[in-house]
Structure 1
Amino acid sequence: MPNEACGVLTCSHSSEMINQRQNGILSVDQIYPISNTAEHANQNFRFDPNDWITILYRIQKNRQSLVGIYHSHPSTNPLPSLADLEGMQYVPAVSYWIVSFPHLEQPDVQPYWYNRKTFTPLMLAKIGV
């Protein structure tokens, strides 16, 4: 705060995870923050290229799959904006999560499917062990 945070979401390469993904279920078990290098970081985000490459190698080394990317909206609702499209330059088709803080007490999380410059809302369910 007050800048937007950003990063990626991953899951392990287990057969259960692969079966869930084929059934349209995305599981997240690791979050990797990435530095925001946008010129106006309080209004949009851009992955730091060096962090992005480092995280991609770490994901591969740890035998994980990229599930999605996330970023925050420090003071607005979790709705994709034109600036968000610019931040999507590294990932052509992936889940896209916005964490917003319109009311500081409780964050609002909304995942989307991003493909070809289109955002489609996804249902969010928390499942834990």
Structure 2
Amino acid sequence: MAALHGQQNTFYIPSSVEQEMSKYMFASLPQEACGVVLGEAAAGGIRISRFQPIRNVAPDPLHHFALEDAEWIRCVFNEPQLIGLFHSHPRTTPVPSNEDLHNLPIFAGLLQVYFIGSPDLTADSQPKMLLNGYQIHSSHDSFTGMDHVQPYNLQRAQLCVT
């Protein structure tokens, strides 16, 4: 996967893909939903082209997610445009939890994008998803020699729904 150069902090996502992620998230409630996003790094940002749901097999799916191994492995080896991960926070805001940051090294070497969705509890009529996107950065780029430094971090990205 090509490395990103410079600050590419805009994610372009078709409204149809955002709607698919939202429908899957609401259908999965009260459990966390998860899956992968496909796309590519392009001039000026990252363009998302598709969402692929993956079954959540976490022992406690109400509060955690774990991608089903066979589906995850199939995506890693068969999807050349695998670029990111999506999961939901059914009861909290779409910002990375401590657990998200702790588990980031499991995926981060393969991915560039991290999406978190949450139900908008303030929406009056139609169920609506709040979606935040984060770019995955390697802390290895600025090696400090300290073992306790997280190897990856997340930087909030601007979402542009097209």
Residue number among 109, 119, 124 corresponding to 1:101 in the alignment: 119
Q: Is 2:108–2:152's contact at 8 Å kept on the other side of the alignment?
A: no
Q: With structure 2 as the length reference, what TM-score do the two structures score?
A: 0.63
Pick closer, same or farther for the CA change 1:86–1:47 going to 2, 3 Å: farther
Q: Please give the TM-score of this superposition, normalised by the length of structure 1.
A: 0.78
Residue 108 (structure 2) aligns with: 91
Q: What's the CA shift for 1:94?
A: 1.5
Name 2:159's counterpart in structure 1: 124
- After superposing on structure 2, the runs of 4+ consecutive aligned residues of structure 1 that deviate more than 3 Å are none
Question: 1:36-63 deviations in whole A, cap 9, x for unaligned?
Answer: 122221112111111101222331xxxx
Match of 1:14 in 2: none
Mapped pair 1:40 → 2:60 = yes
In the alignment, the residues of structure 2 paired with residue 32 and residue 123 of structure 1 have an alpha-carbon distance, to the nearest angstrom, of 22
Alpha-carbon distance between aligned partners in 1 of 2:67 and 2:103, rounded to the nearest angstrom: 7
Task: Tell me which residue corresponds to 1:9.
Answer: 37
2:82 to 47, 66, 72: 66
What do you get for the CA RMSD once the two structures are aligned? 1.9
The CA deviation at 1:87 is 4.3
Specify every segment of 5 or more residues in structure 2 that has no aligned partner in the other structure, as ranges: 1-28, 138-150
Q: What code does the residue aligned with 1:40 have?
A: D
Deviation at 1:67, TM superposition (A): 2.0
Measure how far apart 1:86 and its partner are. 4.6
Query: Equivalent pairs: percent with the same residue?
Result: 27
Aligned residue-pair number: 115
**Pairwise CA distance, 1:22:** 4.4
> Aligned-pair distance for 1:79?
0.7
